[in-house]
């Protein structure tokens, strides 16, 4: 468990290093995710990493809720242009959720028929 957490933190730190050197547009944890994916490709997932990631992923909503409280700071602009912003969000979700799901399902079905 602790070894797994250590591995995750080290990968994030390596991600931070790469971000500072060459990839300023990508956040360190996302680079760390890619690095860890590459690393486990070389071998297999150790038991400790399995445990640490399962434990952490279960608390993902908690960790997202904390930065989300930042809504208290950005609320003014939101309220001022609420109709345009709200419509933009709702309309794009209404159209793009079916688009992404249906497109992916059709493409996969088509690929299977080709095989």
Partner 1 sequence: MTDALLQVAHAPLTAIALTLAAFVFALWLYRRTGWLVLQPVLITMLLIIAGIRLLQLDYAAYREAVVPIAWLLGPTTVALAVPLYRNLRRIRANLWPVMVTLLVGGIAIVAITLLTAGLLGADLPVLMTLVTKSVTMPIAMPLAEQLGGLAALAAVLVMLTGVLGTVMLPPLLKLTGVVHPAARGMAYGMNAHAVGTARALEEGDECAAFAALAMGALGVLTALLLPAAVIGWRWLGALG
Give CA separation, 5 vs 9, 10, 49, 68, in Å.
6, 9, 7, 24
22 contacts partner 1 (rule: CB under 8 A): no
CB of 10 to partner 1, least distance (A): 9
Does the footprint of partner 1 cover residue 90 (CB under 8 A)?
Answer: yes
Q: Least distance to partner 1 from the beta carbon of 20, Å?
A: 13
Site string for partner 1, 47-66 (x = CB under 8 A): --xx-xxx-xxxxxxxxxxx
Choose between 21 and 108: whose C-beta lies nearer to partner 1: 108
Cα–Cα distance, 11 to 40 (Å, whole number): 12
Q: What residue ranges in the chain does DSSP mark as E strands? A: none
């Amino acid at each position: 468990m602790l070894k797994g957490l250590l591995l995750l933190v080290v990968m994030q730190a390596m991600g931070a290093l790469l971000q500072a050197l060459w990839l300023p547009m990508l956040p360190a944890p996302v680079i760390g995710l890619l690095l860890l994916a590459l690393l486990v490709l070389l071998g297999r997932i150790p038991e400790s990493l399995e445990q640490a990631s399962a434990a952490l992923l279960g608390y993902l909503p908690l960790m997202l809720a904390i930065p989300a409280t930042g809504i208290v700071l950005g609320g003014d602009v939101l309220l001022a242009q609420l109709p345009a912003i709200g419509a933009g969000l709702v309309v794009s979700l209404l159209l793009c959720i079916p688009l992404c799901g249906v497109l992916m399902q059709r493409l996969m079905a088509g690929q299977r028929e080709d095989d």
